[in-house]
Structure formats: structure tokens, C-alpha cells
Structure 1
Amino acid sequence: MNTIKRTLGIIWLLLAFAAAYFCVFEFGLPKLFSDNQEDLVFGIIILFILTPLIVAGLGIFGYFAIKGEYDLEKM
């Protein structure tokens, strides 16, 4: 079970990198440089509020899973 948790930790880190890419380059920057006012607000929210929360959450969870913090022997 601990091997599965560590493998899933790697997957969480890969999801963090994928989320960072998509939030910045697919959702944030195109909306930020759009001429529409609603797109500008949405781009700012995506880039400066949601992207750090999503990436940090996935990254921290994956890091601790790889380090073995969720192993059954530690409990």
C-alpha cells in the first residue's frame, strides 16, 4: 500500500505541473491579453489566485506522499 501511495505522489506532482501549464498558458495569459473587460478580470483571478492554490495544493500533497508522510508505519 505504501508503494501505491508513493506512486500516486509522483502522479500528483505531475498533475501539479500540468495544472500550472494549463492555468498559465491556456487559461490565464490569453484572457489577460484579451480586449474584453470580463476576460481581463477572469485572467487575473486565474493567474494570481487560482493557479497558486491549485499548484501548491497538488504539489505539497505529492511531495509528502513521496516522502512517506502518509505511510502506515508512521501512525
Structure 2
Amino acid sequence: MNTVKKILGIVWIALAVAVAYYAIGIFGGKLTSGKQDDLVFGIIIFFVLLPLIVTGLTIFGWYALTNEYED
């Protein structure tokens, strides 16, 4: 079971990196489109939701990788 937890920890960290990469690629264009609606949406996604999602996935993966969930 510990091996599965460690593998899933790596998967969560890799998922965090993938989410960050694709979100920057997709929503980066929203910040430079020139429309006010896109700019507000892009700022909310980019500076509020993206750090929360990536940080949460990374911490969850790190805890799984370092056996914090063993108790």
C-alpha cells in the first residue's frame, strides 16, 4: 500500500505541473485579448484559482510521497 501511495504522490505532483502548464497556455491568451470580460476572467483564474489548485495538488502529492498519511 505504501508503494501505491508513493506512486500516487508522484502522479499528483505531475498533475499539478500539467495543470499549471496548460492553464498558463490557455488562460495566458485571456490576459492579452484586450477585452475587459476576458481580462477579469483571466485575472481571477490566473491569480486566484490556479495557485490554489496547483498548491493543493502539490502538497497532497508531497504528503503522499513522504508517508504523512501513514497514521
TM (norm. structure 1) is: 0.89
Which structure 1 residue ranges, 5 or more long, are not aligned? Answer: none
Shift of 1:23: 1.5
User: Aligned partners of 1:65 and 1:24: how far apart in 2?
Assistant: 26
Segments of 4+ moved more than 2 angstroms = none
Question: Partners in 2 of 1:23 and 1:57 — Cα distance?
Answer: 15
Per-residue CA deviation, residues 23-56 of structure 1 (Å, 9 max, x unaligned), is 21212x1000012111000110111001100000
The aligned runs of 1:40-59 (5 Å cut-off) are 40-59=39-58
Let me know the Cα RMSD of the aligned residues: 0.8
TM-score (norm 2): 0.94
- Runs of at least 5 residues in structure 2 that lack an aligned partner in the other structure: none
Where does 1:1-75 land on structure 2 (aligned, <5 Å)? Answer: 1-27=1-27, 29-71=28-70, 75=71
Aligned residues: 71
